[in-house]
Amino acid sequence: MSSQIELQVEEAGERLDVYLANELTGLSRSRLQKLITEGQVQRNGTCTSKKAIVQVGDHIQVTIPDAAPLDLQPEEIPLDILYEDDHLLILNKPVGLVVHPAPGHASGTLVNALLAHCRTPDGKSTLSGIGGTQRPGIVHRLDKDTSGAIAIAKTDLAHHHLQQQFQNKTARRDYLAVVYGAPADHGTIDAPIGRHPVDRKKMAIVPETDGGRRAVTHWHVTERLGNYTLITFELETGRTHQIRLHAAHIGHPVVGDPLYSSGRSIGVNLPGQALHAWRLRLHHPISSELIEAIAPLPHTFTTLQDVLRRRHLHQT
């Protein structure tokens, strides 16, 4: 059966497809544009255009049809499972694993692994179809080279409830990162994020009047390591590259970040940025029980910590 998502617009000025892509992070913009074209999106009870500008108070109803047969192949890729039942799956994603297929990554993704893990004996997928054929079960994302806890929906009902939690900020995501320099003990970064005007691989601090989306990141220092600092970040919003960009914005980029740091050598061979989604807290979509999933740090992250601790002790 098809499922429906109800949204009430609180910020005006964006195109409908852009607004929906930011609110419904499990759906790609192209998928949403197709749904709009097919008449599956209504604004205040009427089908509309993807270019329509949303206004405060608008009521948006998105109908998700039954998923089409998947054109992706299941792949037996090992999964580090933190929690699982018939509705919800929480994984510890490793560095280097792409979440869903994209140009240059047609296979070997988390979605391919999920298709192998979440299927009936006759081969049918048991994942939510809300994300479409390329993103079954995907509620939120982690960058390829960011490790840690990620939630997967096994049913459309679970997918809808989890999306609402992320939208309403009742689901909380805490990250650990090693950054350059010595920031203040704690603070909040409130700086809107949008696409970089020149480099399409990057995001940038973009005023909301120019299309940027409000982005808020809280941090507190966990451990000082000389010229480096271990920080806990908590996301209030979930924009693309939010922590990486915000950390660079305040002059303390994440160590190993290929896009937003200077690439200074630290003597440790990191496969990606030193950023790990270590804790995910959410309410079970069916029972409403509070679930807290803790993702153990990857070996490369702990190695970096050990090296920096020894270096700091030697310097002092």
pLDDT of residue 30: 77
Strand partners, 89: 84, 152
Mean pLDDT over 111-119 rounds to 90
Least confidently predicted of 8-12, 77-81, 89-93, 184-188: 8-12
Is pLDDT at 267 greater than 80 in this prediction?
no
Mean pLDDT over 82-105 rounds to 89
Is pLDDT at 309 greater than 90 in this prediction?
yes
Question: Rounded to whole angstroms, how far apart are CA atoms 213 and 210?
Answer: 9
Structure tokens at 61: 């109803």
pLDDT band at 130 (very low <50, low <70, confident <90, very high): low
Residue among 108, 111, 113 at smallest CA distance from 96: 108
pLDDT tens column, 161-172: 998 898 888 999
Domain limits of the chain?
Answer: 3-64, 81-166, 172-315
Strand partners, 61: 6, 42
pLDDT of residue 211: 83
Classify residue 276 as exposed, middle or buried by CB count within 10 Å of its CB (0-12, 13-18, 19+).
buried
Mean residue pLDDT of the chain comes to 88
* SS3 category, 63: strand
pLDDT tens column, 245-258: 999 999 999 999 99
Q: Which CATH superfamily is domain 81-166 in?
A: Pseudouridine synthase (3.30.2350.10)
DSSP string across 195-262: E-SS-TT-EEE--GGGT-B--EEEEEEEEEETTEEEEEEEESS--TTHHHHHHHHTT-PBTT-TTTS-
Catalytic residue check, 17:
no
Least confidently predicted of 31-35, 114-118, 203-207, 289-293: 31-35
CA atoms within 13 Å, Cβ hemisphere of 107: 8
Q: Which CATH superfamily is domain 3-64 in?
A: RNA-binding S4 domain (3.10.290.10)
Q: Report helix, strand and coil shares of the chain as percent, to nearest 5.
A: 20, 30, 50
Structure tokens at 315: 């310097």
* Bridge pairing between strands 228-235 and 203-205: unpaired
Terminal-residue alpha carbon distance, the chain: 64
pLDDT tens column, 215-242: 999 999 999 999 999 999 999 988 999 9
Residue range 172-315 in CATH 3.40.50.720: no
Interacting residues of 213 by C-beta distance below 8 A, sequence separation 6+: 22, 192, 193, 194, 237, 239
CB 27 within 8 A of CB 21: yes
Q: Do domains 3-64 and 81-166 have the same CATH topology?
A: no
* Bridge pairing between strands 186-190 and 172-180: unpaired
Mean pLDDT over 141-153 rounds to 94
Residue among 141, 126, 165, 155 at smallest CA distance from 26: 141
pLDDT tens column, 85-94: 999 999 999 9
* Among 143, 145, 156, 257, the one annotated catalytic: 143
